Amino acid sequence: MNQLIVAFITGLTTGGLSCLAVQGGLLASSLEQQLEQQLDLQIEQEIAARRAHRSGKKRSRILVHPRLALPILLFLAAKLAAYTLLGFLLGALGSVLQLNAITRAILLIAVGIFMAGNALRMFNVHPIFRYFAVEPPKFITRYIRRTAKNRESFFAPLFLGALTVFIPCGVTQAMMAVAVGTGSALQGAVLMFAFILGTSPVFFLIAYLAMQLGARMEKWFMRFVAVVILLLGLVSVNSGLTLMGSPLSVTNMIQAAKASQPDLASAPVPQSDGVTLYLSAGNSGYAPRVLHARADTPITLNVVTNRTYSCSQAFVIPALGVEKLLPDSGTETISIPAQTAGTVMRFSCSMGMYTGKIIFDQ
Amino acid sequence: MVKKTYRVEGMHCPNCAMNVESIEDDLPGIKQISASYQKGQMVVEFDEAKVSEAQILATLEKRGYQAFPA
């Protein structure tokens, strides 16, 4: 759910304007007919007003409200449907790839590098970063261009809205990569739906008010988008590192620094005795974050949930290849083979957001 | 018919390449045009009898792009 809210807000803030900068031309093409009609009407009214002025009548200015709302809405609805379908396919692709914790970690890191590369491209750091942008094949761009030219009433906005799927902006491409990472067709579809829905109000508002980003404003805006993408990219790399159990991830470093702080347990769990361990998986993470276990002895880890509906339900121990989807309320028992003294075994949720570790002592 | 390669400035995403290519809609003398955002260039094949290089560059400039012979 959190991921959907983030997707929606990303769409609402950066995605909408970034997509408009890229796909605005297509929308303008589909609205061209309506705009031409508006212009003709305005010219006619202007001429009529001049005649009236010459004949001594009071000059009145009549504002024209063309029927722009409907084609824009059709364009956006088609776009929403097309991207939801794309999210479904990307999620399905992710599920076919049978993502285990490590491949998901690699994917997250790759997505992060892709996003960071795109951000550096937007900053114009070096032309080499242009290769991070995906160029649609020429025959597709040519086809889109010709369709935009030969539009017919309401079919054009619908069709062109759907065609935007082939010319995603940088933020959308990043979101598409996240959709693959969900590993589920349904989640991928819902994620893309939330994101595109978020972009729609900005798209609609700016298109309707026929405002255009001035060159100066666009430059600053693109920088802002680049910073956001860069941050999201770094978060993604960090999640990947956490999921790999790497102590180098920021999450694990912060956790190490905060080790002395009290833990927030949602489900009360019995005291661990070193051989039988109890871990509470709550809505805001795992508690205790550090468990101590006896070395050279097989251990039983009981992960307890109590009305847990967050990503902490997807429990992962990378070192053991353990991946469990915990029940929302109940106990999942995991057997851990004997470990040597000094071993630090990290666990996390499947997205690497919530973490903790088991330290094996003598 | 001549074929020339130009370095294009002002393209900030792959779809700008699409915008650059769309000048062929306005200039019938262009036989073929292919722009690449990644390479930051365009290759134009045009009939000098129908359209001049200056016209092509001016049309591009109107759309916010500057081209220089590569």
- B49 in reach of chain A (CB within 8 A): no
One-letter amino acid at A235 equals: V
As separate numbers, helices (DSSP H) first and strands (DSSP E) second, chain A gives 10, 9
Q: Which residue on chain A is closest to B15 by alpha carbon?
A: A22
Q: Which chain B residues are within 8 Å of A130, Cβ to Cβ?
A: 37-38, 40
Between positions 300 and 359 of A, the ones with CB within 8 A of B are none
* Distant-in-sequence, close-in-space partners of A338: CB < 8 Å, separation ≥ 6: A295, A296, A297, A298, A299
Whole-number pLDDT of residue A258: 61
Domains of chain B, earliest start first: 2-69 (3.30.70.100)
Q: Across the interface, which of B21, B25, B40 has its CB nearest the CB of A141?
A: B21
Q: Is the ipTM of this complex over 0.85?
A: no
- The candidate with the shortest Cα–Cα distance to A163, out of A142, A185, A184, A177, is A142
Answer left, alpha or beta for residue A151, where phi above 0 means left and psi between -120 and 50 means alpha: beta
Q: Across the interface, which of A130, A215, A222 has its CB nearest the CB of B37?
A: A130
Whole-number pLDDT of residue A297: 92
Whole-number pLDDT of residue B47: 93
- B52 in reach of chain A (CB within 8 A): no
Query: Mapping DSSP to helix (H, G, I), strand (E, B) and coil, where does residue A359 land?
Result: strand
- B28 in reach of chain A (CB within 8 A): no
Read off φ and ψ for residue A293, nearest 5 degrees. Answer: -125, 160
Q: Which residue on chain A is closest to B36 by alpha carbon?
A: A135
Could you give the CA distance from residue A164 to residue A175 in angstroms, rounded to a whole number?
15
Ranked by mean pLDDT, the top range of A314-318, A350-354, B19-23, B56-60 is: B56-60
Whole-number pLDDT of residue B53: 92
Whole-number pLDDT of residue A69: 74
Whole-number pLDDT of residue A55: 62
Whole-number pLDDT of residue A63: 44
Q: What are the average pLDDT values for consecutive 10-residue runs of chain A, which has 362 residues?
A: 80 77 64 54 61 56 54 87 94 76 74 80 84 76 71 67 77 80 88 93 74 54 71 78 71 63 60 88 86 92 84 84 83 93 89 85 78
CATH architecture of A261-361: Sandwich (2.60)
Cβ pair A135:B17 closer than 8 A: yes
User: Under a CB-based contact definition with an 8 Å cutoff, are residues A319 and A345 in contact?
Assistant: yes
* Distant-in-sequence, close-in-space partners of A73: CB < 8 Å, separation ≥ 6: A204
Domain boundaries, chain A: 2-243, 261-361
Give the tens place of pLDDT for each residue, B24-35. Answer: 888 989 999 999
CA A273 to chain centre: 42
* Distant-in-sequence, close-in-space partners of A66: CB < 8 Å, separation ≥ 6: A34, A35, A37, A38, A41
Cβ pair B13:A170 closer than 8 A: yes
Q: Across-strand partners of B33?
A: B44
Burial of B59 (0-12, 13-18, 19+ CB in 10 A): buried
Cβ pair B13:A133 closer than 8 A: yes
Whole-number pLDDT of residue A278: 93
For the beta carbon of residue B38, count every other beta carbon within 10 angstroms: 18
User: pLDDT above 90 covers what percent of chain B?
Assistant: 53
Could you give the CA distance from residue A180 to residue A19 in angstroms, rounded to a whole number?
20
Residue with tokens 């914790």: A101
Query: Mapping DSSP to helix (H, G, I), strand (E, B) and coil, where does residue A16 land?
Result: helix
